């Protein structure tokens, strides 16, 4: 992914590129047991809490974790309950950071509400208590939360990773434990105030530690010599990992073929024939992974002024205009020919509608609503406010730009094909649809409430936890009159109840309020059947009736790796999104490839504990953009 990560600070990062480095350098209290998404192993905790042992209260509002004795950060200092409290406090204080952070995941159950007025010293401080003497930390939740759901949230590296508070304060501003101190600290969750050292360095207890970075180009990891393996979390067998963000597919493929790269990830389906030829030659293996990843095109209801678009800010606040663009999109042609399912005889993606993905509880197949119909698109277009207020379709010309992440040839082709269809809605030359590529990091930086200049843009979602609310809240929850902050995407694209009412869309505002009511009811619901019912109501209203997005694909990903790499089959946990790699699960034959592409200093051929040279893994990475917001 050109542009690289947003930040390596686990309290502020919320995107899929930074996730991989954070997941390899930090640890959480619990982690998933192998490829299971409903079973856990203790990591920084020394046991999985239960009601029977008293560490979970009968009402499921208080969860106590005992910290594993002797757990160490990479600098050799001891992991303490205070480090846990400090880390989760930062996550809560950064909850309203821009661009959006992962803090909503933990805060939805640790704070009374998402109203900034509830981000008080008392609420934040009392949400987590630490007892260094007993070695315990307790989470005090505002509502009953099932064990499975809270454990999934606790296992998320974004927002739930444990950082060293001493290291944070040694290399950045301290957190004053006062009301004023908490208020002042919140600004460090904003991109404009990121602390450079926190952004590009790590201090966790994971199997690796960041050695150095080349901003926007590469990350170099080295083995954490103080890492302590536990059951289910093995010690690394490689000394170093080099991640390079390479835009050119041919450069990545040549690196793989020559052996300079061991693995390529985020491989575009348009280049699958090249990978197949290398597989036939016996150089590589290809591993397909089913995912819970969804990608779609975002309508911006409140477009900030820019030279890229001549449309009014409320252009897509009009439901007719959104439906016109929706019906001008060739859904099946995209999957068959542009993504390439039919062309290559493989499954790279499948169609979807709704927002809960196939494979997750609560999934409902609504893809039959994805209808490509240019006649219907024309009807909606002619009924839109923009057209009627400009005296009809012959006079209603405009220029609009579709934004696609850099180095994504598949969706750039899709944007151009879609643009050709939309241009047919008006007289020749009357509608001009352009395409623009932006780095993933720049797209994220544009996603600010009331200030997003992108009119129509491609991005997606990888799961934080496999539960319906992880999709309905961040993708469908609208903002309201009290705050511009709704879910991660609605906040960035102007799907706001008060805004819709202010531009004369009262019916849409009422429908958006229904969506909000159903989602918020699901957040405090412990009956999974009721959660499913509420989630389906919300997604039908938002996706089918309000058409707030144009669905693109539910992704199947594939790793391409040299035959000397072992352990890729262990990377199938759906919480890794089929794209991220835990490097301590991999092994590599010593001397199997050429020298790694990154060299900053001598001494790269480090020696393991028994005097055996440990191998190095080098990757060429190309990412389709997605928030994690994972």
Q: What mean pLDDT do residues 417-426 have? A: 98
Pair 94, 11: CB distance under 8 Å: yes
Question: Comparing C-alpha atoms, which of 157, 102, 286, 38 is closest to residue 580?
Answer: 157
Strand partners, 496: 479
* Rg over CA atoms, the chain: 24
* 291 touches 35 (CB < 8 A): no
Pairwise CA distance, residues 571 & 576, whole Å: 7
| Mean pLDDT value of segment 511-533 | 93
So what's the pLDDT on residue 591? 65
Q: Is the pLDDT of residue 509 over 60?
A: yes
Q: Which of 44, 166, 111, 71 is nearest to 485 (CA)?
A: 111
pLDDT tens string 302-356:
999 999 999 999 999 999 999 999 999 999 999 999 999 999 999 999 999 999 9
3-state secondary structure of 591: coil
Task: Quote the pTM value.
Answer: 0.83
CA distance 444 to 491: 12
pLDDT of residue 267: 83
Instruction: Find, among 567, 20, 623, 575, the residue nearest to 262 by Cα.
Output: 567
HSE-CB of 428 using CA atoms within 13 angstroms: 0
Whether the CB-CB separation of 252 and 586 falls below 8 Å is answered with no
According to DSSP, residue 42 is labeled E
Question: Does the pLDDT value for residue 610 go beyond 60?
Answer: no
Q: What is the mean pLDDT of residues 483-491?
A: 81
**Distance of alpha carbon 297 from alpha carbon 456, whole angstroms:** 7
For 496, other C-beta atoms within 10 Å of its C-beta total 26
Residues 153 and 464: their CA atoms lie apart, in Å, by: 7
Q: Exposed, middle or buried by CB within 10 Å (0-12, 13-18, 19+), for 576?
A: buried
Residue 225, burial from CB neighbour count under 10 angstroms (0-12, 13-18, 19+): exposed
pLDDT reported for residue 216: 86
pLDDT digits (tens, 9 = 90+) for 372-391: 999 999 999 999 999 999 99
Cα(575)–Cα(289) distance, rounded to whole angstroms? 12
Mean pLDDT of 511-524: 94
- In the chain, which residues fall in CATH 3.90.76.10? 16-200
Task: Please answer whether residues 181 and 175 qualify as being in contact, where contact means their C-beta atoms are separated by less than 8 angstroms.
Answer: yes
pLDDT score recorded for residue 72:
97
Q: Give the per-residue pLDDT at 511.
A: 98
pLDDT at residue 596, rounded to an integer: 47
Contact status, residue 374 vs residue 391, Cβ threshold 8 Å: no
- To 10 degrees, what angle do helices 469-476 and 506-523 make? 150
Other beta carbons within 10 angstroms of residue 379's beta carbon come to 14
Backbone region of residue 219 per phi and psi (left: phi > 0; alpha: psi in -120 to 50; beta: other values) = beta
CB 624 within 8 A of CB 408: yes
The DSSP element (H or E) to which 399 belongs, if any, is strand 398-405
**Percentage above 90 pLDDT, the chain:** 79
Q: Which CATH architecture has domain 236-630?
A: Roll (3.10)
C-beta separation of 104 from 95 below 8 A: yes
Q: Is the pLDDT of residue 622 over 50?
A: no
Query: Residue 441: which H helix or E strand, with range?
Result: helix 440-446
DSSP track, 192-225 = GG--HHHHH----SSSEEEEEEETTTEEEEEE-T
Closest C-alpha to 578, from 602, 556, 605: 556
- Does residue 630 have a pLDDT over 80? no
Query: What token pair was written down for 31?
Result: 């982690």
**Parts of the chain belonging to CATH 3.10.105.10:** 236-630
Q: For residue 257, name the pLDDT band (cuts at 50, 70, 90).
A: very high
Cβ atoms 524, 59 nearer than 8 A: no
Token representation of residue 164: 């060293």
CA distances from 408 to 19, 360, 582 (A): 20, 27, 24
Convert the pLDDT of each residue in 163-203 to its tens digit: 999 999 999 999 999 999 999 999 999 999 999 999 999 99
Mean pLDDT value across the chain: 91
pLDDT of 608 reads 27
Q: Quick one: pLDDT at residue 484?
A: 60
**pLDDT at residue 145, rounded to an integer:** 93
Q: How confident is the model at residue 486 (pLDDT cuts 50, 70, 90)?
A: confident
pLDDT of residue 593: 59
What length does the chain have?
Answer: 630
pLDDT per position as a tens digit, 129-148: 999 999 999 999 999 999 99
Homologous superfamily in CATH for domain 16-200? Dipeptide-binding Protein; Domain 1 (3.90.76.10)
- Give the pair of three-digit tokens for residue 596: 């790694």
Determine contact, residues 159/630, Cβ cutoff 8 Å: no
Please compute, for residue 577, the number of CA atoms within 13 A of its CA located in the half-sphere on the CB side.
29
Whether the per-residue pLDDT at 604 is higher than 90: the answer is: no
In degrees rounded to 5, what are phi and psi of residue 243? -110, 125
The pLDDT of 614-625, averaged and rounded, is 63
Peptide bond into 265 cis (omega under 30): no
């Amino acid at each position: 992914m050109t542009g690289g990560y947003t930040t390596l600070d686990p309290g502020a990062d919320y995107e899929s590129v930074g996730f991989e480095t954070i997941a390899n350098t930090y640890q959480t209290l619990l982690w998933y047991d192998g490829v299971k998404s409903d079973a856990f192993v203790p990591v920084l905790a020394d046991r999985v809490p239960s009601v029977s042992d008293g560490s979970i209260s009968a009402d499921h509002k208080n969860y106590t974790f005992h910290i594993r004795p002797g757990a160490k950060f990479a600098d050799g200092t001891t992991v303490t309950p205070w480090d846990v409290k400090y880390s989760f406090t930062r996550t809560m204080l950064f909850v309203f950071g821009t661009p959006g952070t992962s803090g909503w995941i933990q805060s939805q159950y640790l704070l009374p509400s998402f109203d900034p007025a509830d981000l008080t010293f008392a609420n934040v401080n009392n949400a987590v208590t630490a007892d260094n003497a007993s070695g315990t930390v307790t989470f005090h939740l505002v509502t009953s939360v099932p064990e499975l759901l809270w454990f999934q949230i606790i296992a998320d590296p974004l927002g739930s990773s444990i950082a060293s508070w001493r290291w944070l304060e040694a290399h950045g501003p301290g957190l004053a434990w006062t009301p004023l101190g908490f208020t002042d600290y919140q600004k460090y969750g904003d991109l404009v105030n990121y602390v450079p050292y926190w952004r590009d360095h790590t201090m966790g207890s994971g199997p690796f530690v960041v050695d150095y970075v080349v901003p926007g180009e590469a990350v170099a990891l080295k083995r954490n010599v103080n890492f302590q393996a536990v059951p289910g979390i093995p010690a690394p067998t490689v000394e170093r990992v080099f991640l390079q963000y390479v835009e050119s597919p041919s450069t990545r493929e040549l690196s793989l073929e020559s052996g300079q790269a061991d693995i390529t990830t985020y491989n575009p389906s348009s280049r699958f024939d090249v990978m197949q030829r290398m597989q036939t030659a016996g150089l590589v293996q290809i591993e397909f992974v089913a995912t819970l990843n969804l990608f779609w095109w975002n309508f911006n209801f409140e477009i900030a002024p820019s030279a890229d678009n001549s449309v009014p800010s409320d252009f897509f606040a009009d439901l007719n205009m959104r439906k016109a663009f929706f019906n001008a999109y060739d859904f099946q042609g995209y999957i068959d020919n542009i993504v390439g399912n039919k062309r290559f005889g493989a499954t790279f993606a499948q169609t979807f509608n709704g927002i809960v993905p196939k494979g997750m509880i609560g999934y409902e197949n609504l893809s039959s609503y994805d209808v490509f119909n240019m006649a219907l698109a024309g009807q909606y277009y002619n009924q839109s406010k923009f057209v009627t207020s400009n005296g009809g379709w012959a006079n209603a010309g405009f220029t609009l730009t579709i934004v696609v992440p850099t180095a994504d040839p598949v969706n750039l082709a899709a944007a151009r094909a879609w643009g050709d269809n939309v241009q047919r809605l008006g007289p020749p030359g009357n509608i001009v649809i352009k395409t623009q590529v932006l780095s993933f990091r720049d797209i994220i930086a544009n996603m600010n409430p009331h200030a997003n200049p992108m009119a129509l843009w491609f991005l997606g979602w990888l799961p934080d936890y496999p539960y319906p609310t992880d999709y309905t809240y961040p993708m469908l929850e609208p903002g309201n009159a009290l705050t511009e902050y709704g879910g991660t995407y609605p906040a960035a694209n102007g799907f706001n109840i008060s805004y819709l009412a202010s531009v004369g869309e009262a019916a849409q505002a009422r429908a958006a309020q229904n969506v909000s009511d159903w989602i918020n009811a699901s957040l405090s619901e412990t009956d999974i059947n009721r959660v499913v019912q509420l989630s389906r109501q919300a997604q039908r209203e938002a996706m089918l009736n309000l058409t707030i997005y144009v669905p693109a694909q539910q992704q199947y990903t594939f790793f391409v790796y040299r035959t000397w790499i072992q352990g890729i089959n262990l990377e199938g946990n759906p919480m890794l999104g089929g794209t991220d790699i835990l490097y301590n699960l991999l092994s590599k034959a010593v001397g199997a490839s050429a020298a790694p592409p990154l060299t900053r200093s001598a001494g790269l051929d480090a020696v393991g504990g028994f005097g055996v040279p440990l191998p190095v893994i080098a990757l060429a990475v190309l990412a389709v953009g997605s928030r994690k917001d994972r």
